[in-house]
Amino acid sequence: MWLIFCIISMLLCAAYELLGAGIMRSDGAYMPIKLRISVIGIEFIAGLGLYFLGAGESGLSPFRLIAGNPLIVVSVSFTVFTGLLYMWGLKFIGLSIQEALCGFSGVLIFLGMIVTQMLTGRLAAASQLLVPYRLIPIIIMLIGVCILPDLNTNKSCRSAQADHEALTDIRTGRGRMIKGLIITFAAIICDASDSLLTSIIMDEGTIGTIDYMIAAYMVAAVWGAVLYIGLWAREKKPFNPLKRKNLPICIYAVLIIFHTAFYLMGVYASPVKATILWCVYPIIPLIAARLILKEKYNAPQYVCIWITAAASIAYCLFDVVT
C-alpha cells in the first residue's frame, strides 16, 4: 500500500505545485499571501477536526500541547515563510529551476550537522561526513546555481513565469533570475530550519505525530489571522477565498491537505522505501513544467537545470541509502 499512497501523494504534490505556479502568473496582487491564507484556513479546519474527533495521542488541548513544546511556534513560523517565499520566487523564476534546487534543503541540514559536530569538538565525526558521494553532488549543484543566471541570450531565456513583455536586455533577464534565486534560497533556508526543528521536537518523544499536527495547525491559524488582517488593511477590503474567481486558490489549498495525508500514510507504511521514492519526485514537475506550463529556456539553461536536478536527486538518494 505504501507505493499507492506515495504515487497518489506525488501526483497531488505535482498538481498543487503546477496550479500554484499557474496562479502566480496572474496579475492579481498579493497572491502568495492569499494562497497561504487559504492553505492555513483548510489546515485550521483539519486541526479542529482531529482534535474534536479525539485523534490526538494525549487528549491535551492545542494550547497545552504548544505550551509543552514551544519550539512548535518557531517551526511553524518557518513553514509559513517557506510557502510565502517559494510562491514569491515563482514571480521571477520558473518551477523547473525551483525543483532543480530542492536538494539544497538537505545540503543545509548536512552542513548544520557538520558545524554542530565541530562546535562540540567531535572533529572525527565531522570528517566522516565529508565523503565524495556527498561532496560531489553539492559541488555540481553550487556550480549550476552560479552559472545559471549567465546563460541568458538575447532571445530572453526567462521562464514563462515572468511578465508578458519580452526582455531584450540580457542584464534585465539576469537580474530577474538572480532575484528569484535569492528568494528561493531564503525559502530553502526556512524549509531546512523547519525540518531540523521538527526533527528535534519529534526526537524528544514528548509529543505524538497527530498531536504535533493539531498544535501546528493552531499556530498556523494565528499566522493566518495576522496575514488576513494585514491583507485586509492593505487592500481596504476583506479577502474572500470562496468567491468564484478564487476557486483555483481553494483547490490549491485542498490539494495540499490531501497530499499531506497520503504522504504521511505512505511514510508511515514504509518510511525508508517512501523516502527513497520521494527523492526522485522532482523529475515529475520538471517534465510537467515544460509540457503544461510551457516554461521555455535555451539549450544551455536546460542542460544546467537538468544536471543540477540530477545532482540534487543523487545527493538525496545517497543521503537516504547511506
- Are residues 314 and 283 in contact, defined by beta-carbon separation less than 8 angstroms? no
Residues in the chain: 322
d(CA 206, CA 63): 15
d(CA 9, CA 278): 10
- Are residues 232 and 93 in contact, defined by beta-carbon separation less than 8 angstroms? no
Phi, psi of 69 (to 5 degrees): -140, 70
- Are residues 200 and 112 in contact, defined by beta-carbon separation less than 8 angstroms? no
d(CA 289, CA 159): 10
Q: Which pLDDT tens digits describe the chain residue by residue (322 residues)?
A: 889 999 999 999 999 999 998 888 776 678 899 999 998 988 888 888 888 887 777 888 888 889 888 999 999 999 999 999 999 998 888 888 898 888 888 888 777 777 777 777 776 666 766 777 778 888 999 999 888 888 764 444 444 444 433 333 333 467 788 888 999 999 999 998 888 888 888 777 778 878 888 889 899 999 999 999 999 999 898 998 888 888 998 999 899 989 988 888 888 788 878 888 888 899 999 999 888 988 888 888 889 999 999 999 988 888 777 6
- Are residues 282 and 99 in contact, defined by beta-carbon separation less than 8 angstroms? yes
Q: Which of 42, 80, 65, 78 is nearest to 212 (CA)?
A: 65
Q: Is the dihedral of CA 312, 314, 317, 318 positive or negative?
A: negative
pTM: 0.84
Report which residue type is found at 299. A
User: Which DSSP symbol is given to 30?
Assistant: T
Rounded alpha-carbon distances, angstroms, from residue 244 to 56, 241, 251, 277: 35, 8, 11, 37
Q: Which of 46, 79, 62 is nearest to 207 (CA)?
A: 62
